[in-house]
Structure 1
């Protein structure tokens, strides 16, 4: 390996963020992070690729200087048997076609084990990045990873990773306590707002999330019902296994005249909603470090959330952290209707992001990790 290493991102759902023509498909926070980081690496002179799902795109197609290698379609194969073929076989084949020096993946799942085995077999390096607090605790992993077989593969891959990156100090401590795995904290990249755009704050309260049970979309509807004088907007698409929840949330939302239910909104368009919102609300039972918090703060939008990663909201005054639903209702009503107080918090949010989330500074942690692994590989080659 000479010069900068070739980094390959493994993310089966990355293409809808990377390629605008596929943006009607669902996205999540990690797909956004993979794409932002991949594009940043390309700008810095790295060779970058991605292993993605099969959306009927050509294999080897490029977007933003990132070459993609496709695996399988979600409905492809015979249940039970499809774990081996086409899933394992197509993933393995795509990883080989990518032929990268370093493979990067996030989120708990069997894919971490497959990547760990692949990298061990072919002498490549694996970087794993925690995406959710539940990735760090075996009992919580069961909530995200259905099958014991997949949880076992996750443990194998986690322990074989050459570098592990966490989003917060809490995640670092949980990983060390439950898995004996050390990690470094790597902040997330953020899409910069259009500084020249005029902001008309015509949305009082915004909610953006995947419609899954632990995200508690029902509580946002309860919030809208409790504050009929405010204008609420809700964004979130249907997720696999949660079709009934989606239908029920949409049905309940349509009964409220002060709640606009958008369903799924492509990533390229969702940013404008953060610009328009006076307050961003998160109702999840658990999270990692939500992209949505950063997208709100960088646009001067305060966050009110039950979940506060490493206490960052409370410590820096970036919104509020209510302890109950009545407290949430009071906090939203108070901040939404007090423009003076909201302007103070808004300036604090922008200042916090300018100080702590400069993308060049954030990127340095990732570059140091990749370059360190590249140097280690070169030394191993010289020793051989």
Structure 2
């Protein structure tokens, strides 16, 4: 797969509203999720291998058709643009559809549950293109639990999911859910991660912080990390993340008020994607408190550095995988395990080495993109799309 691209290789379009600020870190935004990080790695690596790659993203002031690392960016509407009641149709649908046409790709890819999946599926049916949906969270495949605000968008999402030429799951549980609830077969392709260029490992003795990184949402249960910091005052805790990009900030403000009284806790607020890595460099332990996830990028950021993870969410890989790190079911078990690992440096370092070994063998970008390209080329071949229509309309 690393070889030269053949003449028949499909062109790829990643439909990702918030991806541009990741591709261009100079763009100032206050929200970036894990799905954007994954698409950043995959799109850049595909472009590096010679594939035609484009991105359809919101209008953050960039020039339409601009190129970053050989990835061409087509913009839709500005964030928040339009009048309530009509903005779903214009400018959102109209500008999205126009950007999809300008991209003129063979394969269109959507990651995250939402109305985009349905719209892109309709577009691909209309113009005989290949549509790929990639799960980003376990609830993407659980009816009634989708992280989608409007019923209209749920209906569009489920239409798109059911009409995808290929469904990609991040873990075994997602495969099982897709098969059980939607009668869909899927390909398992886990997340990937690359250490920054010039990465220099921090010596173990200088890794002193217990770290939590995510967007502040109720199902992430950040209040449990606050309780952990309060219960273990001898250790330094750092909490990285800002409020969700939808809804009010009342939940985030409540967390800030509670954190203010915990002297050994630093709450950073939102940190740009390209700057989060520095917090992992200095961590000796990473904590996840979520009820559910997909495959958190934060696990890979920790594991790549030999930082062990302790999680209330049980991660699942393939059927044969024994996942590294520590998994607990209650806050009391979390407190006990963190206390144990912080009191036993040898055990903590050994667990971190096992995490790093697992990362190197399963989650490096080149290996994951090999699997990704094999899957989408097969899907494009079997969908039989005619790629001659869009540019004529």
TM range (shorter): over 0.9
Where do 5+ consecutive residues of structure 2 fail to align? Answer: 1-5, 389-393
Aligned residues: 378
Q: 2:107 aligns with which of 83, 102, 109?
A: 102
The aligned counterpart of 1:252 is 258
**Normalised TM-score (structure 1):** 0.94
The aligned counterpart of 2:74 is 69
Point out the more displaced range, 352-361 or 106-115.
352-361
Q: 1:206 aligns with which of 198, 204, 211?
A: 211
The aligned counterpart of 2:288 is 282
The aligned counterpart of 1:118 is 123
Higher RCO structure (Cα 8 Å, ≥6 apart): 2
CA contact (8 A) 2:171 2:317 kept: no
CA contact (8 A) 2:119 2:156 kept: yes
Q: 2:171 aligns with which of 160, 168, 171?
A: 168
Deviation at 1:84, TM superposition (A): 0.8
Separation of aligned partners in 2, 1:202 and 1:177: 43
CA contact (8 A) 2:60 2:79 kept: no
3-state secondary structure, aligned to 2:332: helix
Alignment RMSD: 1.9
- Residues 197-276 of structure 1 aligned to structure 2 (within 5 Å): 197-200=200-203, 201-239=206-244, 240-276=246-282
The aligned counterpart of 1:306 is 312
Separation of aligned partners in 2, 1:224 and 1:354: 31
Separation of aligned partners in 2, 1:19 and 1:195: 19
The aligned counterpart of 2:44 is 39
Mapped pair 1:321 → 2:327 = yes
Describe the superposition over 1:303-333 as per-residue Cα deviations: whole angstroms up to 9, x where unpaired: 1001012278xx7463211221111111111
Describe the superposition over 1:250-292 as per-residue Cα deviations: whole angstroms up to 9, x where unpaired: 2222221100111111111111211210100000111111011
Separation of aligned partners in 2, 1:327 and 1:266: 32
Separation of aligned partners in 1, 2:67 and 2:271: 24
* Structure-2 change in CA distance of 1:285 and 1:100 (3 Å): same
CA contact (8 A) 2:225 2:289 kept: yes
Deviation at 1:360, TM superposition (A): 2.2
CA contact (8 A) 1:106 1:131 kept: yes
The aligned counterpart of 1:152 is 155
The aligned counterpart of 2:336 is 330
Separation of aligned partners in 1, 2:361 and 2:100: 38
Separation of aligned partners in 2, 1:38 and 1:150: 26
3-state secondary structure, aligned to 1:363: helix
The aligned counterpart of 2:191 is 188
Q: 2:181 aligns with which of 173, 178, 181?
A: 178
**Normalised TM-score (structure 2):** 0.92
